Amino acid sequence: MKPRITLKNIAKEFGVSISTVSKALKDSHEISEETRSKIKAFADYYNYKPNSLALQLRNQRTSVIGVIIPEIVHHFFSTVIEGIEKYANEKGYSVMVCISNESFQKEVSNIGVLTNGSVDGLIVSLSRETQELQNYHHFEALLKDDFPLVLFDRIIEELECDKVIIDDVGGAFKATNHLIELGAKRIALITTKDYVSVGSLRKEGFKKALKSNNIEIDDSLIFKIDEKLNTYEQIKKVLFVTNPPDAILAVNEIYAATALKIAKERGLNVPKDLAIIGFTSGLISEFTSPSLSSVEQHGFLMGKQAAELLIDRIETEGNLEFQKVVISPDLKVRNSTQIN
């Protein structure tokens, strides 16, 4: 790569000092009109652009925000990134993305890389392993130095920082109520292991809805999928039983779509024999048949909010109170819960 042109180069060219060039390019009145135009023409011709590293070092700010997510090939997370990127860009920031790949180690090392001065702040959603281990030292160290940090979706409740989450309890509550209104009596829940925060919150909303409708909670209808094992086989057990459920709430799109697939293989009519509703994060729900009803998660908004919180914190000196933004999910009713 050819070396980029610098102020020094230009200065030498005209036999003036570096400061003169710098001022000329900024249209300072200190520099004569003549010198100014000469220098600007030259700089323009050689396409001079100030080296951003030098600027960042001098200004002690990078205008970059770091994002660490568990996966990127994931409709929800990529939508969040889109929201972050859009808002950040409008505010003059760039986005640096790292992927923890659900690994604690990778998350720690990502944080290490990003907080060496290359970003002004961090937006993070926890890796599954971190949630499992409940080891949050790397975040605590950050907060000790008042490093700007926003957690989203998979958060740490106890940590004192900005957070943005979905009202998972409310979403599951709405969805479950919807199933009950349809006449469901035996509703199965397909969820994750308890350490996944969103999973346990949605379970909470599910139970809450049952209680408020005076339906007894049957623990044998709650299935916790182990992501390390085969999803399909585990979900099969939900339906291939003697007394199968008449409705299913699944905590994500894949579980819902898989349940639908298995139901059809079993010859069940959805939604007549079995109503299904999931939490959407992708496009699958629209294209299955019947299309799947779901709780919409507003990932874009979530990203935007996270970026907004972070940039506010970066740009505000003095101490801001920590905020927790809660986004209300909406029910998108499609054919898997619609009888007509």
Partner DNA sequence: TACAAACACGAAAACGTTTGCGAAAAATCA
Partner DNA sequence: TGATTTTTCGCAAACGTTTTCGTGTTTGTA
Contact range with a second copy by CB under 8 A, out of 23-31, 178-186, 238-246, 254-262: 254-262
Instruction: Find tokens 């048949």 and name the residue.
Output: 289
What is the distance between the alpha carbons of residues 144 and 159, in angstroms, rounded to a whole number? 11
Residue 35 binding: pick among DNA, a second copy, none (C-beta 5-8 Å cut-off by kind): DNA
What is the distance between the alpha carbons of residues 162 and 302, in angstroms, rounded to a whole number? 13
183 binds a second copy (CB under 8 A): no
Say if residues 177 and 209 touch (Cβ distance below 8 Å): yes
Q: Would you state the structure tokens that stand for residue 54, as one six-digit string?
A: 């030098």
What is the distance between the alpha carbons of residues 149 and 163, in angstroms, rounded to a whole number? 9
Please, what is the minimum distance in Å from the beta carbon of residue 72 to a second copy? 5
Q: Would you state the structure tokens that stand for residue 143, as one six-digit string?
A: 């907060």
User: Across-strand partners of 293?
Assistant: 277
Candidates 27, 33, 145, 219; binder of a second copy (CB under 8 A) is 145
Amino acid at site 279? F
Question: Binding to a second copy (CB under 8 A): which residues in 28-47?
Answer: 47
Question: With respect to a second copy, which residue has the nearer C-beta, 95 or 295?
Answer: 95
Residue 251 binding: pick among DNA, a second copy, none (C-beta 5-8 Å cut-off by kind): none
Q: Return the ∠ at Cα 246 (arms to 240 and 247), rounded to 5°.
A: 100
Candidates 8, 185, 237, 266; binder of DNA (CB under 7 A) is 8
Nearest Cα neighbor of 274 from 212, 331, 221, 227 is 221
Q: Is 300 exposed, middle or buried (0-12, 13-18, 19+ CB in 10 A)?
A: middle
Contact range with a second copy by CB under 8 A, out of 11-19, 128-136, 212-220, 260-268: 260-268
Q: Is 333 exposed, middle or buried (0-12, 13-18, 19+ CB in 10 A)?
A: middle
Candidates 79, 176, 294, 297; binder of a second copy (CB under 8 A) is 79
18 binds DNA (CB under 7 A): yes
Residues that bind DNA (rule: CB under 7 A) add up to a total of 32
Question: Binding to DNA (CB under 7 A): which residues in 60-119?
Answer: 60
Contact range with a second copy by CB under 8 A, out of 20-28, 53-61, 123-131, 324-332: 53-61
164 Cβ neighbours under 8 A, 6+ residues apart = 150, 151, 152, 153, 302, 305, 306, 309, 324, 325, 326, 327
Question: Binding to a second copy (CB under 8 A): which residues in 268-307?
Answer: 282-284, 287-289
Residues that bind a second copy (rule: CB under 8 A) add up to a total of 55
**N-terminal to C-terminal alpha carbon distance within the chain:** 66
Question: Binding to a second copy (CB under 8 A): which residues in 83-112?
Answer: 85-86, 94-99, 112
What is the distance between the alpha carbons of residues 78 and 81, in angstroms, rounded to a whole number? 5
Interacting residues with DNA (CB under 7 A): 3-4, 6-8, 15-20, 22-23, 25-26, 29-36, 48, 50-51, 53-55, 57-58, 60
**Footprint on this chain of a second copy (rule: CB under 8 A):** 1-2, 4, 47, 49-54, 56-57, 62, 64, 71-75, 78-79, 81-82, 85-86, 94-99, 112-118, 141, 145-148, 254, 257-258, 260-261, 264, 282-284, 287-289
